Amino acid sequence: MAKIVGGIATSHVPAIGRAIAGRLQQDPYWKPFFDGFPPAHAWLDKVRPDVAVVFYNDHGLNFFLDKMPTFAVGAAPQYVNADEGWGIPTLPPFAGDQDLSWHLINELVEREFDIVTCQEMLVDHAVTLPMKLLWPEGDGIPIVPVCINTVQFPLPSARRCYKLGEAVGAAVEAWQSDKKVLVIGTGGLSHQLDGERAGFINKDFDLAFMESLIADPKWATQFSNEELVEKSGTQGIELLMWLATRAALPGAVRKVHATYHIPISNTAAGLMVMESGS
């Protein structure tokens, strides 16, 4: 059976791509952010995952306001970067793992999740930036993208996203494979890009949420989406990807590494590495 080695949650602020492309990692503005990643690289070198399930949110690339699925799973042989222009300009395609994709799709439908199956799928900065941050010198590992709607209401609740993560984790552990699987959650943390609260950041809530992923992983499920937006900003609702990632990890987890930095382009940027205990 496959083994889930752990999970990594990280921000995907588009400006990070510009910094990578411009080789600004040592620039005073960017250095504190990029300095948080070497411990994650060291952990990845130790556990050496074979494939990653990536919880992310699409930014109008595959799905727009006229057609917005709640959950979608990629089943493509590869995923091409077609970012909207604020991320890394060019990247080679990311390889897919179609065997795991179809296993997840079948298992999720069996568990009564009405998902959209995508045999062709483009990816934007929500996928490309975490992969480049975690594997800065290479192309990373094959991926299975799992898209969660955080763009247009009605959004799935925190409770529903947690259940999705649990179902994905159970499906991975039932996969007839000897591969080691990493779960990645991408987005957030607190930020709001427009409206009267543009620039809103809630450090206290962000840190409480990050700590809850270790000590009380269902903590955020007590809040409605409206309450989460109030606490973390309109775009801060992307924390749902972090929540699904934690839910996919079996049992208790060990916090390997965590960083929190503000601001990056008016966003609270976080990173958390969690090792599975099973």
User: Could you list the active site residues?
Assistant: 125, 191
Distance set, CA 210 to CA 59, 123, 132, 271 (Å): 24, 26, 22, 9
- Strands across the sheet with 122-123, in order? 94-95, 78-81, 122-123
- How far is 15 from 86, CA to CA, in rounded Å? 6
The reply to whether omega before 250 is within 30° of 0 (cis) is no
Task: Find the helix or strand (DSSP H, E) in which 134 lies.
Answer: helix 125-134
Cα gap 25→23, rounded to integer Å: 6
Beta carbons within 8 Å of 233's beta carbon, 6+ residues apart: 190, 191, 192, 197, 200, 201, 202
Helix (H) or strand (E) holding 272: strand 267-276
State both tokens at 172.
């991975």
In whole angstroms, what is the distance from residue 41 CA to residue 113 CA? 33
The token pair at 210 is 């990050």
Q: H helices of 22-97, where?
A: 31-34, 38-47
Tally the residues of the chain: 278
CA angle 141-70-156, nearest 5°? 105
